[in-house]
């Protein structure tokens, strides 16, 4: 790996850590306002105008992380890789700083509100951290092998596994929310909803995360990553042998 790539990775890492602290700061303020005795379920109802700000803040955060990846990478795939790394580090350090500042989460299976786009996501904090680890691994592999050769790509089968796995994982995070709504306790909240955020979940206390659905999605993603790794490694080996064969 070249010195320039190492510098880029360092700055992407520092940027993502700083973004993680910024995210934590906002959540500290929100919890002081809505959860002065500590965050717990059932969720406190948040006024619509604040919920809308939160929705756009989360979208702005994703755009910032995506922008950092686009600036750092030289090709479409490496830009994607830097985005994955930035997103994952941001997500992990968000929880690191929450623990430092609020001594929360209490453990790795503590439930949290993970995201609001397009609908509220819930789950134990270990779940997004596992996903973040996979994102870092895939991002690093793309960057590493992109420096070894120019023919690094993700084929349609690999994309199918990766995207399919991500969709299933996201479904596992929204599983409980839709389960609550389906029982007739409220309507689905979205940006254009007339109700306040979490109004439909005012009595909801999560009991069990759908690890089966999450695991299926995770297996698909890691299978796609493994196929990518084998493909890139084989191409690298074949090109190295070709260079040796024709070396004068």
- The string of DSSP letters for the chain reads --HHHHHHHHHHHHHHHHHHHHHHHHHHHHHHHH-TT---SSPPPB-HHHHHHHHHHHHHHHHHHHHHHHHH-SSHHHHHHHHHHHHHHHHHHHHHHHHHHH---SSTT-EEEEE-SSS-EEEETHHHHHHHHHHHHHHHHHHHHHHH-S-----HHHHHHHHHHHHHHHHHHHHHHHHHIIIII-----TT-SSPBTGGGTT-------HHHHHHHHHHHHHHHHHHHHHHHHHHHHHHHHHHHT--
For residues 1 and 142, give the distance between their C-alpha atoms in angstroms, rounded to a whole number.
Answer: 12
What band does 244 get if pLDDT is binned at 50, 70 and 90? very low
Half-sphere exposure of residue 56: CA atoms within 13 angstroms, side-chain side: 6
Instruction: Convert the pLDDT of each residue in 141-170 to its tens digit.
Output: 999 999 876 678 899 999 999 999 999 999
Instruction: Output the pLDDT for position 197.
Output: 79
Q: Report whether pLDDT(239) > 90.
A: no
Mean per-residue pLDDT over the chain, rounded: 88
Please name which of 20, 16, 11 lies closest in space to residue 97, comparing C-alpha atoms.
Answer: 20
Residue 186 has pLDDT above 90, yes or no: no
Q: 74-88, 99-113, 181-195, 233-247: which has the minimum mean pLDDT? A: 233-247
What's the pTM?
Answer: 0.89
Residue 123 · residue 172 · CB < 8 Å: yes
In the chain, pLDDT over 70 holds for what percent of residues? 92
pLDDT of residue 237: 59
């Amino acid at each position: 790996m070249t010195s320039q790539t190492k510098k880029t990775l360092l700055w992407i890492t520092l940027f993502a850590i700083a973004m993680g602290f910024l995210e934590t700061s906002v959540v500290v303020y929100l919890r002081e306002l809505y959860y002065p005795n500590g965050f717990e379920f059932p969720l406190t109802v948040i006024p619509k105008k604040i919920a809308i700000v939160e929705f756009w803040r989360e979208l702005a955060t994703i755009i910032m992380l995506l922008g950092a990846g686009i600036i750092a990478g030289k090709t479409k795939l490496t830009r994607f890789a830097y985005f994955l790394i930035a997103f994952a580090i941001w997500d992990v350090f968000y929880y690191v700083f929450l623990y430092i500042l609020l001594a929360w989460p209490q453990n790795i299976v503590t439930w949290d509100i993970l995201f609001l786009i397009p609908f509220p996501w819930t789950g134990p904090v270990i779940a997004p951290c596992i996903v973040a680890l996979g994102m870092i691994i895939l991002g690093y592999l793309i960057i590493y092998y992109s420096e070894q050769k120019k023919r690094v790509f993700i084929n349609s089968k690999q994309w199918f596994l990766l995207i399919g796995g991500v969709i299933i994982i996201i479904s596992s995070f929204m599983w409980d929310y839709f389960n609550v709504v389906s029982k007739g306790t409220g309507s689905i909240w979205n940006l254009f909803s007339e109700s306040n955020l979490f109004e439909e979940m005012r009595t909801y206390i999560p009991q069990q995360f759908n690890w089966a659905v999450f695991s299926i999605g995770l297996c698909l993603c890691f299978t796609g990553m493994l196929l990518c790794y084998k493909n890139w490694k084989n191409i690298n080996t074949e090109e190295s042998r070709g260079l040796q064969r024709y070396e004068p």
